[in-house]
């Protein structure tokens, strides 16, 4: 049985949380926002920010270095506008698709190999 049949499911379950993880880190560690303020900007709780910073959420996905640079660029334009945050995440997802940038999933064999492989194969079949 297929775990995911649409690449958009993979984006929702894995890529968007990984992008939020990086945005949370950038906002709190590089830009000095409190967890509460970063949560407001990203539209999530301060507890979620804490979990992202402690690698307890979205820890299976490793984004391409070009995607990370785009997220750094996104942070500069987000400011304190949640709507801008959504537009920037969508922009970075589109950038990733348009450039056919891969992501790594389940590095180091810490997770169920079959599920890991299926996620990558499904995503690359449509966007890769």
At 95 the pLDDT is 96
Tell me the three state secondary structure of residue 55.
coil
- Average pLDDT for 57-77: 93
At 67 the pLDDT is 96
CA–CA separation, 22 and 19 (whole Å): 5
Residue with tokens 């804490």: 50
Under the banding of pLDDT at 50, 70 and 90, the label for residue 128 is: low
At 1 the pLDDT is 45
Instruction: Tell me what percent of the residues of the chain surpass a pLDDT of 90.
Output: 58
CA–CA separation, 19 and 63 (whole Å): 8
Q: Tokens representing 70?
A: 């785009």
CA–CA separation, 99 and 53 (whole Å): 28
How confident is the model over 83-112, as pLDDT tens digits?
899 999 999 999 999 998 888 887 654 555
Is residue 76 predicted with pLDDT exceeding 50? yes
């Amino acid at each position: 049985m297929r775990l995911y049949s649409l690449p958009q499911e993979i984006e929702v379950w894995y890529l968007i949380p990984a992008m939020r993880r990086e945005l949370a880190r950038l906002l709190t560690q590089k830009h000095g926002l409190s967890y509460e303020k970063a949560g407001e900007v990203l539209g999530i709780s301060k507890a979620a920010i804490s979990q992202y910073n402690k690698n307890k959420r979205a820890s299976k996905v490793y984004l391409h270095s070009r995607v990370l640079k785009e997220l750094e660029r996104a942070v500069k334009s987000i400011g304190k506008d949640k709507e801008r945050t959504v537009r920037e995440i969508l922009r970075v997802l589109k950038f990733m698709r348009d450039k056919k940038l891969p992501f790594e999933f389940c590095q180091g064999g810490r997770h169920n190999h079959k599920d890991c492989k299926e996620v990558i194969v499904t995503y690359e079949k449509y966007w890769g």
